[in-house]
Amino acid sequence: MRSRLTLRNAEAAPLKAIEPFSAAIFAERLLRDLKGGYRLISYFAQKTGGQNARLYAVIAYDDDGLLRVAATDVAGAFESLTTDTPQAHLFEREIFEQTGLVPKGHPWLKPVRFTGASPEGMGVMKFHRVEGAAVHEVAVGPVHAGIIEPGHFRFQCEGETVLHLDTALGYQHRGVERSLKGGPDKRSIHYIETLAGDTTIGHATAWCQALESLAGVDISFRARGIREIALELERLANHVGDIGALAGDIGFLPTAAWCGRLRGDFLNMTAVICGNRFGRGLVRPGGVAFDLAKSQVADILNRLNEAHEGLDAAVPMLFDSPSVLSRFEETGRLSIHHAVDLGLVGPAARACGIEHDVRKNFTRRPEPSTRFTISTWSTGDVFARGMVRWLEIQRSIAYVRDRIRGLPEDGSMRPMKPPRNAHVAVSLVEGWRGEICHTAITGADGKLALYKVVDPSFHNWMGLAVAMRGQQISDFPLCNKSFNLSYCGHDL
Amino acid sequence: MGLIDILLARAKQGHRTIGYPKNPPVLPELFQGRPIVRPELCRSGCGKCADVCPTGAITLPTHIKNPELLLFATSDDAGGGDDTLSLDVGRCIFCGECEKVCGDKAIEFTKEHRMAASSREALKLSGETYEMAKALDKKALKVFGRSLKLRQVSAGGCNACEADINVLNTVVFDLGRFGIQFAASPRHADGLLITGPVTKNMELALRKTWDAVPEPKIVIAVGACAINGGLYAGHAETRSGIPSWLKVDLYIPGCPPHPITILDGLLRLLGKLDE
């Protein structure tokens, strides 16, 4: 009897528990599940020699908090599901680029990261084009006007109105996944911490959860608590920065200036814990490398109260000002249908009314004592993406306050063991941009045979493109900022 | 929300720009700054520091590389000439692993935030001296000293260096008060400030951006990746840092450097700091 594997978040199982389906049944069941409310959270191929490869699909059902891993063995090609379920579109392109397996029937097969492209070939692909006498094309990037990572945007416009946006990324491709193979070694954790440098804690936590489950090591409750606190501080810093940047993009300077400062205050709280503003060196397999002394707890609580007061003065005025609302409301609107179809995650999905958050849906055993509320909005526009961040900021502050006072005293670091051989683990973390998914597979030697990272940006870039349809091109910076996606997290 | 409310809130916010450089910077208690390497303290010659370093930043003296020679080593060997324990702070990502494994305290991270250097050689540390970044020459200072416009190019940067460059534009650091600004177009810039290991996919864009900057122009490397490739040195997907067709005028090490370290480097380059 062929079967798929059912796992909880950050649980490992022997690889042999996944018995590959025939390609036809694999595709049929995957499509049925994705149409029935499952989300495709990771989809990748492992080469098994020559043209042969094993395809793995990891799907998640938000209501039961369970993950399912299914596999099939294919040679040279596989059925594309993109036409029926768009959330597969980028995964299939990625599989094609990384392994050469052809997704048969993919409507728009083109590079994802331009792996191995010649210098002249970089960014050169067939962009979606709109024909017509009044249509013109606008090309932006890879180098952008601000201090920001590179990527190329190609707009099809009629006058000021954007008909379509096509995105060419890959400029940041550093070959991280490839380098993680054969590990873990002394470089691995540092690769993970720089996958997306603004999400150091998020990715490092996902990595450690994966390794710990592969090794069968349970970390202390204290270490889990400190990781969660650091994760929320990372969310706070970035959300506060994003709200400031949204204000800056429309010229509402008070909130822009104050949030710019307050963002740093949150980064400095992380530095109180470990000395580094981005949390480098804090999260390590087995626990956390820095414990929290009573004086540090008091220091963080003080800073948190001060920052909270500052935010209460800086942020509500943004959402109360008519001049702001006229720019935020109805701008870059994305419907819940599109968001579901594209498999959007994080604040961008919650701003469309999707109740999905790893912190609530995919809790690890034992369940945390702190109750958690998902922050959503319904309008799917720039306002909603800003407002969801503001709701999350307030809830994160309350969460950190609660968690940091009640940290158990069971140590901060436990001895690690090597990963078990021929095992698979899936690890999810709700990073500030949304769901981070790491899948680890060990070989017969216990080394990583495959490590697959899905940054939330991988799901969400297409959401930005769809949100831009029918918008003024001058609103692109504002819409882009409201998603604030990672380039290197996508390009890895 | 009326204008009066905004003004009242503004009054409450107060003045938030830091006193640096007049006053010393406030750094985190656990801040890892410039390391000090003391080869004379390395007695065990165990080589563990180099073993644990994720970026190959540590060079061991020959007698440690070849343990059989250790028998013949004298205390003079440790400090003499180029063949000595050294740490390339340009490659260092400040993980502190070397300090943790060294039983001899031969490598120690200090709270020193001043780390920028004018040459690649100055970043290779051995002993307590450190040659801090020098100001541009008089001719260049005449052009850039009072107004420096930089175009930032991220070429594989992970957005940590970029983020801590960005904060220099906030009210906290207020970079503009020193006459330094980031320009949106390379044609309006006096130079490039580069982050990231320079991915192959970005090299052409970097070259085109450089070509678009009018002469005279300068290059500033921020972070281990830009200086030497950092973790990504030797990756087929990167150029292991700023390619040799660019001459770097200022190196600012770190992973990422603290904003104060970046600011210190920029101010030294413009001759705005004395010591």
Closest CA to A397 of A242, A231, A233: A233
Same domain, yes or no, for A349 and A260? Answer: yes
Is A190 domain-assigned?
A: yes
Same domain, yes or no, for B144 and B250? Answer: yes
Neighbouring residues of B21: CB distance < 8 A, sequence distance ≥ 6: B263, B264, B267, B272, B273
Is A194 domain-assigned?
A: yes
Q: Which residue of B has its CA nearest to A144?
A: B184
Q: How far apart are the first and last CA of chain B?
A: 48
- State the residue range of the domain holding B90: 35-109
The tokens describing A112, both together, are: 């994802």
A293 vs B contacts (CB less than 8 Å): none
CATH number for the domain that contains residue A345: 1.10.645.10
Average pLDDT value over all residues in chain A: 95
**Would you give the distance in Å from CA A98 to the centre of its chain?**
20
Q: How far is A84 from chain B (nearest CA, A)?
A: 33
Q: Kindly report, residue by residue over A3-54, the tens digit of the pLDDT.
A: 789 999 999 999 999 999 999 999 999 999 999 999 999 999 999 988 999 9
Is A169 domain-assigned?
A: no
Same domain, yes or no, for B145 and B251? Answer: yes
Is B6 domain-assigned?
A: no
Q: Kindly report, residue by residue over B4-46, the tens digit of the pLDDT.
A: 988 988 888 889 999 999 999 999 999 999 999 999 999 888 9
Is A273 domain-assigned?
A: yes
B1 vs A contacts (CB less than 8 Å): 316-317, 320-321
pLDDT (mean) for A230-235: 98
Is B125 domain-assigned?
A: no
* The pLDDT of residue A480 is above 70: yes
CB contact under 8 A, A146 and B13: no
Same domain, yes or no, for A69 and A198? Answer: no
- Select from A104, A125, A154 the last residue of a domain: A104
Query: Residue A3 has what pLDDT?
Result: 78
Same domain, yes or no, for A195 and A65? Answer: no
Same domain, yes or no, for B105 and B145? Answer: no
Same domain, yes or no, for B104 and B165? Answer: no
Judge if the upstream peptide bond of residue B21 is cis by omega within 30 degrees of 0.
Answer: yes
Same domain, yes or no, for A260 and A399? Answer: yes
| Nearest residue, CB atoms, B96 vs list A143, A258, A281 | A281
CATH number for the domain that contains residue B258: 3.40.50.12280
Judge if the upstream peptide bond of residue B67 is cis by omega within 30 degrees of 0.
Answer: no
Same domain, yes or no, for A356 and A443? Answer: yes
Is B124 domain-assigned?
A: no
Q: Kindly report, residue by residue over A373-432, the tens digit of the pLDDT.
A: 999 999 999 999 999 999 999 999 999 999 999 999 999 999 999 999 999 999 999 999
Portion 171-210 of B in contact with A at CB < 8 A:
171-172, 182, 184-186, 196-197, 199-205, 209
Q: CA A274 → CA A10, A191, A288, A368, distances in Å?
A: 25, 18, 10, 24
**A336-340 contacts at long range (C-beta below 8 A, 24 or more positions apart):** A336/A378, A336/A380, A338/A463, A338/A466, A339/A380, A339/A463
For chain A, state the CA radius of gyration. 22
Average pLDDT value over all residues in chain B: 91
The tokens describing B203, both together, are: 């090299």
DSSP tag of A331: S
| Dist CA A15 CA A5 (whole Å) | 9
The tokens describing A464, both together, are: 């930005």
**Residue A283 and residue A227 in contact, taking contact as beta carbons nearer than 8 Å:** yes
CATH number for the domain that contains residue B90: 3.30.70.20
**Would you give the distance in Å from CA A355 to the centre of its chain?**
16
A156 touches chain B (CB under 8 A): no
Give the DSSP letter string of B124-184: EE-BS---PPPPPPHHHHHHHTT-EEEEEEESS--SHHHHHHHGGGSTTT-GGGGTEEE-S
For chain B, state the CA radius of gyration. 21
Is B56 domain-assigned?
A: yes
Is A22 domain-assigned?
A: yes
Q: CA A122 → CA A40, A177, B197, distances in Å?
A: 29, 20, 17
Q: How many domains does chain B have?
A: 2
Is A123 domain-assigned?
A: no
Give the DSSP letter string of A37-52: T-EEEEEEEEEEETTE
Same domain, yes or no, for B142 and B104? Answer: no
pLDDT (mean) for B196-223: 97
pLDDT (mean) for A77-87: 95
Is B45 domain-assigned?
A: yes
Phi/psi at A131 (5° precision): -95, 150
Q: How many domains does chain A have?
A: 2
Is B227 domain-assigned?
A: yes
Closest CA to A30 of A94, A77, A76, A80: A80
Query: Residue B68 has what pLDDT?
Result: 55
A138 touches chain B (CB under 8 A): no
Closest CA to B164 of A307, A305, A264, A251: A264
Is B196 domain-assigned?
A: yes
| Nearest residue, CB atoms, A486 vs list B159, B196, B238 | B159
Q: Kindly report, residue by residue over B62-107, the tens digit of the pLDDT.
A: 776 655 555 544 444 444 446 789 999 999 999 999 999 999 999 9
Is A132 domain-assigned?
A: no
B209 vs A contacts (CB less than 8 Å): 143
Same domain, yes or no, for B85 and B171? Answer: no
**Residue B86 and residue B247 in contact, taking contact as beta carbons nearer than 8 Å:** no
Same domain, yes or no, for A249 and A336? Answer: yes
3-class DSSP state of A8: coil
**Residue A258 and residue A245 in contact, taking contact as beta carbons nearer than 8 Å:** no
- Select from B65, B93, B109 the last residue of a domain: B109
B256 touches chain A (CB under 8 A): yes
Q: Kindly report, residue by residue over A243-279, the tens digit of the pLDDT.
A: 999 999 999 999 999 999 999 999 999 999 999 999 9
**Residue B257 and residue B219 in contact, taking contact as beta carbons nearer than 8 Å:** no
The tokens describing A191, both together, are: 């690769």
- Select from A85, A104, A123 the last residue of a domain: A104
B10 touches chain A (CB under 8 A): yes
Is B4 domain-assigned?
A: no
Q: CA A208 → CA A217, A220, A241, A368, A392, distances in Å?
A: 10, 13, 27, 18, 25
Local confidence band at A1 (pLDDT 50, 70, 90 cut-offs): low
**Residue A183 and residue A447 in contact, taking contact as beta carbons nearer than 8 Å:** yes
Same domain, yes or no, for A387 and A299? Answer: yes
Rounded to the nearest 10°, the torsion over CA A297, A303, A305, A311 is -140
Query: Residue B128 has what pLDDT?
Result: 78
Give the DSSP H/E element, type plus range, for residue A73.
strand A66-75
- State the residue range of the domain holding A77: 5-104
Residue that the structure tokens 């090591």 belong to: A217
| Dist CA B253 CA B222 (whole Å) | 6
Closest CA to A270 of A432, A487, A454: A432
pLDDT (mean) for B244-263: 97
Selected for mutation to probe chain B from A118, A169, A174, A262 (highest B CB count within 10 Å) is A174
Is A29 domain-assigned?
A: yes
CB contact under 8 A, B205 and A290: no
Query: Residue B127 has what pLDDT?
Result: 85
Same domain, yes or no, for B251 and B149? Answer: yes
Phi/psi at A310 (5° precision): -60, -40
The greatest distance separating any two alpha carbons of chain B, rounded to the nearest whole angstrom, comes to 81
A268 touches chain B (CB under 8 A): yes
Share in percent of chain B as helix, strand, coil (round to 5): 35, 15, 50
Q: Which residue of B has its CA nearest to A146?
A: B184
**Residue A217 and residue A420 in contact, taking contact as beta carbons nearer than 8 Å:** no
| Dist CA B7 CA B87 (whole Å) | 52
Residue that the structure tokens 């001899």 belong to: B104
